[in-house]
Every structure is written in C-alpha cells, then in structure tokens.
Amino acid sequence: MSFSTATNPTPFGVFDDDSDFQDEADNMITFVKRKLGDDILSVELTKKQIWGNFEEALFEYGSILNQYQTKSQLMEFMGMPAAGELDDSGDPIDHANKFPRSNLEYLTRFAEPYATEANIGGSYSTISGSIAMVSGQQDYDINTDLKDANGDTLFDGAQNANPKTRLKISEIFHYSPQAAYRFFDTTSAINYLNNEMSFESFTPETIFYVLPVFEDILRAGQLDLSNRVRRSNYSYKVQGTNLRLFPAPTDDSAKRIFVSVRTFNNPVDTGNTDETITGVSNMGNIPFGNIQFSKINSIGHQWIRQMCLALSKEQLGLIRSKFSSIPIPGQELTLNGTELVTQGREDKKELITQLKEMLDSMTYDKLIETQALRAENLQKQLRFIPMPDGKAIFTG
C-alpha cells in the first residue's frame, strides 16, 4: 500500500494532496524502519503511524518558522486582516511564505493618543458646540448646556452617567488666535485690522527674513500669551465636565462661547468606522497557514526527516514499554522501550533547540545588525588597501 492509495493516511490530511509530500511519505517508511533496525528485528510501527509522525514533524517545522516570522514582523500585520478572513476571491487569507513590506502603520497608530491630546488627529471623535452665556452665571455643564447649531442639546446627561463613555473639553475658543499675523511688523494698520477681522495680511512695509521655524513657534507662543494676559479680560477653568468663566458675564446679550469636546469610548469601539479593530491583534490570529512540503528547501526537508525519526523512535518505545519482556523458548527477550522513549524525546528537544537557535540569529532585527557589522568590517578592511601614487581611493 502506497501513500497515494491509502485511505486517510494521515490524521489531519492537511498535506495529503501535495505530490512532493506523497513521494516523501513512501520514502519515509524505508528511512525510519531501516534507522530503527527493521532488517534485523521487526519494527512494530505501521505505515500510517510513520506517516502521522511525518505530518506532525511538518506541522512542528511550520509552526516554529511562523513563530519567528511573527516575532520579526508582527508590527507590520497589526490591524491587518486576521486568520480566517477571506480575500477578494473568497479564499482564506494566508501570508505564509510571503515577505511583508515594512511600514510605519503600527508606529502611527501608537502615536494616535498623543495626537488626540494635541488636537491634531487621533481615533476618537471630537464634537463642537456652543454655550450661551448668562449674566451672572459662571458655571456651565457641557452635558446640559452645550448646544449644536440648531440649538439642540448635544448631551442629555446620560452620556456622563455611562462609565464606558467619558467626555473631556479639548478646546475653548474665546480669544483671537491669529498671533502669527504680527510677527514682523506690529505697527502695520493692516495687521491690526486683520487680527480683528480674521483675514490674512500682506503688508508692503513688511520685510521678511529667513529664520528657523522654531523661532516662529516661539514668537507665536509669546504673542499668544501676551494676548491672553494683556488684552483679554476673560479666562476659564475646566473641572471634569464643568466650565467656569472668569469673570462672570455681566449682560444677557446673545453671546456664545464655542467648545470642542472629545468622547472616549471603549478602546476597541471608538465610534468611528474602523475595520482594522477586528484585524490582527496578537500572534494567535496572524494569518500564517501551514507551510506545504513542496515549498520547503532541502535544509527543512532534512530537519523534518530527523524529527519524523525522533517521533517514530519515541512512539516505538511507548509501544515496547507496554511489555518489559517477551517470553521465548528457553529464555525471555528484554525490550528497550524505555530507552527508545528517552532517546526519542532527547532527539526532539535537540532538533527544536537547534532550529530555534538558528532562527534567533536570523530574525529581521538580527539580520540588520549583521549587515551593519559587515559593512563596518568592510570599511576597516578597505583602509588597508595601499593607495598608488597620484591616486586616491574613496570609500563610504
């Protein structure tokens, strides 16, 4: 009985349709039995048992390789389609045997909380509204007093009572922000006018200089602080969802203060449409499938053969351990089951250790370190090349 004609030759049947696996499986019978001494003493293993060990060895090899690929590139896959999802053709997504292109998507996502706090981006929604100021009233609650453009209350108080949702005031627009318009010529009448009317200025008397960007930022900060302290008679204090104005408004005219509020929902449900939340989140759902035997080179083939032999040796030992000895005419035959089990497990451990040590030195980070060291050593070697008269060698 050959592998291709056997019924259910392996327990899981994952590789049964691979022609290379089929050919190797028949050869594995001869390899294992001869290594275990079948020509001298019968080896109590069936073909299906050896084929099952062959399948397990291939599973182990693919699993270890995928673990180290995950260690190298998990960041690149975070948020991408997860294991079990389908591609555009309706086939399961499988990134095994593929080299992922590096990107900064993970770092960008990691920086989103800082962008949110700086009001320059992020994943959480920002809601804008306005509060009508009332004469003599200093305190306002955004849960009840914040209104939209139609005058409707944005929050009804239930939001704040929900422990899964928090509100935070992010910006309050109560002063003129056009500080940058007065960098160069503070005496320009047009600059004074644009600051009040909020239009951009181009003044003929302005002389522009090429200055570092940080100087512009520092000047803007100084002018902004000057406006708040010297020009504005108003300030505010935020405590939770309560907004306190200083001083208290003194008239009942239809003046409004504009507020931006951030909502903080469940981290995996920010309120925005983001399908990547259900994508890769850990090693357990990264879309790495089983590696087919035909996609493995000779290095992997030899490791799989040795692992299959170690598994078969352990299995044969377990079988023989059921009987410590067999009576034969005139004496008893002592079986070496315990010894085979011990040796098989030691061989397995050694093979796995060797493979992991090799892969540890070949993760993408280690490869980059090796390449950098090689380049550095090459530069050192090139320094010893003699320079002929009238010529020079430039390296680097």
* Confidence bin at 157 (pLDDT 50/70/90): low
Q: Is residue 164 predicted with pLDDT exceeding 60? A: no
Average pLDDT over residues 194-209: 54
Q: Is residue 338 part of a domain?
A: yes
Q: Which two tokens stand for residue 256?
A: 């409004």
Average pLDDT, the chain: 81
Say how many domains are in the chain.
Answer: 2
Does a structural domain hold residue 214? yes
State mean pLDDT over 327-341. 76
Any alpha helices (H) in 38-188, and if so which ranges?
Answer: 47-77, 105-110, 112-117, 142-145, 158-161
Residues 311 and 335 in one domain: yes
Model confidence at 199: pLDDT above 60? no
230 and 257 inside one domain: yes
pLDDT in tens, 114-141: 888 877 778 877 888 888 888 889 999 8
| Boundary-marking domain end, from 238, 257, 277 | 277
266-274 long-range contacts, Cβ below 8 Å, gap at least 24?
266/164, 270/123, 270/124, 270/125, 271/124, 271/125, 272/123, 272/124, 272/125, 274/123
Instruction: Assess whether 315 and 202 both reside in one domain.
Output: no
Task: Give yes or no for residue 159 having a pLDDT over 60.
Answer: no
- pLDDT at res. 162: 47
Q: Are 284 and 78 in contact (CB under 8 A)?
A: no
Question: pLDDT at position 240, please?
Answer: 77
CA 90, 91, 93, 94: dihedral to nearest 10 degrees? Answer: -170
Contact 42, 20 (CB under 8 A): no
CA–CA distance, 3 with 62 (Å, rounded to integer)? 22
* Domain stop point among 224, 243, 277: 277
**Region 156-177 average pLDDT:** 59
Rounded CA-CA distance 86/95 in Å is 12
Please tell me whether residues 132 and 37 are part of one structural domain: no
Residue type, 97: N
Lowest mean pLDDT, pick from 126-135, 170-179, 212-221, 353-362: 170-179
Domain endpoint, select from 247, 277, 307? 277
* Domain membership of residue 258 as a residue range: 123-277
Does 392 fall in a domain? no
Same domain, 251 and 306: no
Name the pTM for this structure: 0.69
Bridging pattern class, strands 331-334 and 166-173:
unpaired
Q: Which helix (H) or strand (E) holds 334?
A: strand 331-334
Residue 110 located in a structural domain: no
Whether pLDDT at 32 is above 50: yes
Q: Is residue 117 part of a domain?
A: no
Q: Assess whether 65 and 13 both reside in one domain.
A: yes
Please check whether residues 371 and 329 belong to one and the same domain.
yes
Q: What does the pLDDT look like over 267-326, one tens digit per residue?
A: 777 666 677 777 888 888 898 999 999 999 999 999 999 999 999 999 999 988 887 766
Residue 183: per-residue pLDDT: 52
Residue 363 lies in a domain: yes
Same domain? For 162 and 65 the reply is no
- How much is the average pLDDT of 24-33? 96
Confidence of residue 208 (pLDDT cuts 50, 70, 90): low
In a domain, 390, yes or no: no
Statement to judge: residues 43 and 143 lie in one domain? no
* 150/217 same-domain check: yes
- Evaluate whether residue 107 is within a structural domain: no
Indicate if 169 and 315 belong to the same structural domain. no
Residues 252 and 352 in one domain: no
